Amino acid sequence: MKVEFYGHVRQYHNIKSEIDKNIQTVLESGQYVMGPMLKQFEGELAAYHGTKYAIGTANGTDSIWLALMALGIGAGDEVITHPNSFFATAEAIWIAGATAVFVDCCPKTKCIDPTKIEAAITPKTKAIIPVHLYGQCADMVAIKAIADKHNLRIIEDNAQAIGAAGPGFKIGELSDASSTSFIIQKNLGTFGDSGALVTNNPDIDAKVRKLRNHGSTARNVHSYGFNSRLDDIHAGILSAKLKHIDEYNDARRKWADRYTAGLQGAKTFTLPVALPGYRHVFHLYVVETKKAEWRDQMVDFLVKNGVDAKTHYSVAIHKQAGYPWGKEARIVGSVENAEENAITCVSLPMFPELREDEVDYVIAKVMEWDAQCAAKSCCCSCS
Ligand SMILES: Cc1ncc(COP(=O)(O)O)c(C=O)c1O
């Protein structure tokens, strides 16, 4: 059997008529950039988050740095985040001209460890960017308390967790703004690139709207800005898919439960932790091998057996070649949990349209590898 990592085409086929209808509406409208479909989708996205505003952008990286820029954060400023994220989190800080400051992640959730943040705060610190990694919210209550105490802004990097929530809070509720990415592989993904920012702050809304559109608020009137717009065709695709996002996330949670039940008792790797009271939406289901040298062996075994396993992310941002390319970054304290995550993570296939037989096949192959690896290894290292 072959189990793919993504199910984009299956998802398209399941709601083809809804997607095709919206694409058709855009094509017939003659308005493809900043048109009515974008306006409609922005309204739907804000309503979904319960925020006052949603602004479509060209991608999730842009929406982070546009938010930083709207908050006046740039050269000479520091922004705290963690290095076991997709590269774009730090990249956005650098594009804005600020210095990225890395602290460690929590060993359980892999999201930023709030207890590490205060040690990294200096007079230059302006913001914190928590990443809701793999689909689970960071501890926003603790992060907000620190931000309030030190008068810092918070921009959530929510590229991976649309529809997630924490105990007593929703995404976008405890921050200045929350950025998301709609690149195809995300929980809500279009057939290409795009992103958005949601916020309750009218000033951020107005500034990002202007910045994303060549600094323009009226035809032929421009100030400083860029071109970072979400095309109407993508807005139409996303509008159709947004209606299904809760059902898609429920399916991801169901497959995660099935993986977790089926992989109990494994000796050579640990399972992801879904914190009680949190709605984890499993953008990724990531196990961690107990020894770094087992990670590639496990991925190779799975791939050879038809299971498209991947790694997210196998190089921590501060370990990327050439880092930091003349851009500034600071590491505060040990980032050993983030580094460990990078060298031990294995992502198993995860998308809503998986089938039971596929999930069970993945479980069988992972457990087969586990048994082989445990048998070959010293028992004290895998207990
Ligand atoms: C955590 C995280 N941040 C930012 C991004 C950047 O989004 P985009 O690729 O839409 O620029 C991504 C995904 O690609 C991501 O996973």
Q: Are 227 and 202 in contact (CB under 8 A)?
A: no
Q: Are 3 and 9 in contact (CB under 8 A)?
A: no
Q: Residue 185 belongs to what domain range?
A: 8-242
Token match 């791939």: residue? 303
Distance 64 CA to ligand 1 centre (A): 9
Spatial separation of the C-alpha atoms in residues 205 and 217, rounded to whole Å: 12
Q: Are 340 and 110 in contact (CB under 8 A)?
A: no
The pLDDT, as a whole number, for residue 35 is 98
Average pLDDT over residues 210-231: 96
Same domain, 174 and 188: yes
- Ligand 1 pocket, 160 CB below 6 A? yes
In a domain, 74, yes or no: yes
Atom of ligand 1 nearest to the CA of 183: 10
Same domain, 49 and 181: yes
- Ligand 1 pocket, 181 CB below 6 A? yes
Q: Is 128 left (phi over 0), alpha (psi -120 to 50) or beta?
A: beta
Same domain, 251 and 231: no
The pLDDT, as a whole number, for residue 321 is 79
Q: CA of 40: how far to CAs of 43, 54, 330, in Å?
A: 5, 10, 41
Spatial separation of the C-alpha atoms in residues 152 and 56, rounded to whole Å: 25
In a domain, 140, yes or no: yes
- Ligand 1 pocket, 228 CB below 6 A? no
Sheet containing 195-199, strands listed edge to edge, beginning at the edge strand earlier in sequence: 53-57, 195-199, 177-181, 153-157, 125-128, 78-81, 99-102, 329-331
> Nearest Cα to 134, choosing from 348, 359, 371, 366?
348
> Nearest Cα to 352, choosing from 224, 215, 256, 270?
256
> Nearest Cα to 178, choosing from 194, 155, 151?
155
**Alpha helices for 263-355 (secondary structure H):** 292-304, 336-344
- Ligand 1 pocket, 157 CB below 6 A? yes
- Ligand 1 pocket, 67 CB below 6 A? no
Q: Are 283 and 350 in contact (CB under 8 A)?
A: yes
In a domain, 1, yes or no: no
Same domain, 100 and 236: yes
Mind listing the pLDDT tens digit for each residue in 33-92? 999 999 999 999 999 999 999 999 999 999 999 999 999 999 999 999 999 999 999 999
Same domain, 263 and 286: yes
Please, what is the average pLDDT of the chain? 96
The pLDDT, as a whole number, for residue 38 is 98
In a domain, 2, yes or no: no
Ligand 1 pocket, mutate which of 93, 162, 181 (most atoms under 8 A from CB): 181
In a domain, 3, yes or no: no
Looking up residue 173, the CATH number of its domain turns out to be 3.40.640.10
Same domain, 101 and 72: yes
Residue 383 has pLDDT above 70, yes or no: no
Same domain, 255 and 231: no
The pLDDT, as a whole number, for residue 378 is 61
Q: Which of 242, 272, 304 is the last residue of a domain?
A: 242
Distance 249 CA to ligand 1 centre (A): 18
Q: Supply the residue whose CA is at minimum distance from atom 12 of ligand 1.
A: 159
Classify 107 as helix, strand or coil. Answer: coil
- Ligand 1 pocket, 131 CB below 6 A? yes
- Ligand 1 pocket, 61 CB below 6 A? yes
Distance 60 CA to ligand 1 centre (A): 5
Same domain, 281 and 360: yes
Mind listing the pLDDT tens digit for each residue in 166-199? 999 999 999 999 999 999 999 999 999 999 999 9
Mind listing the pLDDT tens digit for each residue in 303-342? 999 999 999 999 999 998 777 667 778 999 999 999 999 9
Q: How many domains does the chain have?
A: 2
Backbone angles phi, psi at 55, to 5 degrees: -125, 120
Preceding peptide of 276 cis, ω within 30°: no
Same domain, 250 and 212: no
Q: Which of 242, 273, 306 is the last residue of a domain?
A: 242
Distance 81 CA to ligand 1 centre (A): 14
Q: Are 25 and 140 in contact (CB under 8 A)?
A: no
Q: CA of 247: how far to CAs of 22, 81, 194, in Å?
A: 20, 31, 22
- Ligand 1 pocket, 156 CB below 6 A? no
Q: CA of 295: how far to CAs of 190, 199, 247, 267, 301, in Å?
A: 31, 39, 32, 14, 10
In a domain, 203, yes or no: yes
Q: Which of 189, 213, 242 is the last residue of a domain?
A: 242
Same domain, 293 and 348: yes
Same domain, 324 and 214: no
- Ligand 1 pocket, 89 CB below 6 A? yes
Distance 162 CA to ligand 1 centre (A): 12
Task: Look up residue 219 and give its two tokens.
Answer: 């035809």
Distance 44 CA to ligand 1 centre (A): 21
> Nearest Cα to 272, choosing from 219, 327, 348, 338?
348
**CA geometry: angle 298, 300, 306, nearest 5 deg:** 105
In a domain, 258, yes or no: yes
Distance 382 CA to ligand 1 centre (A): 34
Q: Where are the beta strands (DSSP E) in the chain?
A: 53-57, 78-81, 99-102, 125-128, 153-157, 165-166, 169-170, 177-181, 195-199, 216-218, 221-222, 269-270, 285-289, 329-331, 345-348
Max CA distance (Å), the chain:
72
Looking up residue 327, the CATH number of its domain turns out to be 3.90.1150.10
Same domain, 192 and 133: yes
Strand partners of residue 345: 288
Mind listing the pLDDT tens digit for each residue in 338-365? 999 999 999 999 999 999 999 999 999 9
The pLDDT, as a whole number, for residue 257 is 98
Backbone angles phi, psi at 219, to 5 degrees: -55, 130
Atom of ligand 1 nearest to the CA of 132: 1
In a domain, 334, yes or no: yes
Atom of ligand 1 nearest to the CA of 193: 10
Distance 6 CA to ligand 1 centre (A): 16
The pLDDT, as a whole number, for residue 202 is 98
> Nearest Cα to 286, choosing from 304, 273, 275, 300?
273
